[in-house]
A = this chain, B = another copy of it.
Amino acid sequence: MSTIYDVAKLADVSPKTVSRVLNGEPVVAEETRARVLAAMKQLDYHPNAIAASLKRQRSNIIGFVVPYGSKFVFQDPNMMEQLRGVHDVVTQAGYDLLISVPVNRKDALSELLRLVRNKNVDGVILYPTAGVERIIKELDEKKFKYVTLERYREDQQTNYVRINAVTGVYQATRYLLSQGHRRIGLINKPAAFFNYCCTEDSLVNGYAAALEEAGIPVDQVLIDTGDYTFEGGYQALRKIRKREPELTAVICASDPMAYGAIRAAEELGMNVGRDFLVVAGDNLPLTRKLYPMLPALNNPSFEQGRYAGNMLLTLIREKRDLPGISLDAEFILPSESVVSEGRNSGRIGISS
């Protein structure tokens, strides 16, 4: 492997001039630049990014740390969409993306520190898991750049991109009410799924708001939770239905749970799409294709990733904190859901 010195020698210039050409610094004479370029080509020279990183004290690598478990990440379509959004934005800006998947939940934080302290990553995207506050404090102290997906505490003001489901669920509930549904179920996510500190429950809030508006009291019989999975949705629907045989619709916090609910409903003899409606929460493209007759919630995970990536890049560039962003999930009518091509093709509401 040839080095910058070899090129310099061949082009009869100093290493620094080669470096200038390499980094596109504008002061180099056209004739010199041409000579250097020729020398590079002749020697099949390729700059060593590691050496540059050491000198520059930055790696041009962004870290993406997920809570834990490769199975969890790579099989969660929403997390993949977030990842994809981050990826697209940061690679476009010339960064590489290092995906870090701690084996256990409790490793997530040390893994994060490892990236920051040992690997010189220029910034990280992270999920606020239990105990993250201590880490955030260390990151803040070291002026290390990060963006959280969701807030790590209710009063976090900066450096987060979250999704607000309230509006979407409110619209969904209103729609169902307008269609004559009166006993509407809600399959929510567990109170603290990633151990987020945030206790606010946007699904229940939106649901309750629409019901109250219609003068219908919230009935706990109609609400249950599931762990985001098919099984979770399946079980939750069975429980709700058992408590309320008059159930005619259900809103689910995730698409897999919606699949499970649909399956359970079919087993219970309900005709999904006709006398029973299921509203899914993720807006996976697949869901629209499998169940075009159903309304849905659009969860802009991809956009969330893009916003987070852009925020991190700005953070790195401008060295100051940025106000957090909240993206609104939106309700999608059944008719629309067939027309739209990919995900997140709809408008994105930014509320904060």
* A-to-B contact residues, CB < 8 Å: 1, 46-51, 53-54, 59, 61, 70-71, 73-75, 77, 80-81, 83-84, 87-88, 91, 96-101, 103, 117-120, 230, 256, 259-260, 263, 285-286, 289-290, 342
Contact = CB atoms under 8 A, between A and B. Distances in A.
A259 B230 contact: no
Given A84-B71, A87-B99, A119 B50 contact: yes
How would you classify the secondary structure of chain A's contact residues: helix, strand, loop or mixed? helix
Contacts of A99: 87, 97, 99
Nearest to A115: B96
Contacts of A71: 84, 342
A185 to B, nearest CB: 20
19 contacts: A48-B54, A49-B119, A49-B120, A50-B54, A51-B54, A54-B54, A70-B84, A70-B87, A70-B88, A71-B84, A71-B342, A80-B80, A96-B119, A97-B98, A97-B99, A98-B98, A256-B286, A259-B289, A263-B290
A136 to B, nearest CB: 17
B230 A286 contact: yes
Given A47-B118, A74-B80, 10 more contacts: A48-B54, A71-B342, A74-B81, A74-B83, A74-B84, A75-B77, A91-B103, A96-B98, A230-B286, A259-B290
Going nearest first, the 6 A-B pairs with the smallest beta carbon separation are A46-B117, A74-B84, A74-B80, A49-B118, A70-B84, A230-B289
Contacts of A51: 54
A91 B87 contact: no
Nearest to A63: B96
A196 to B, nearest CB: 23
A51 to B, nearest CB: 5
A226 B88 CA distance: 27
Nearest to A260: B289
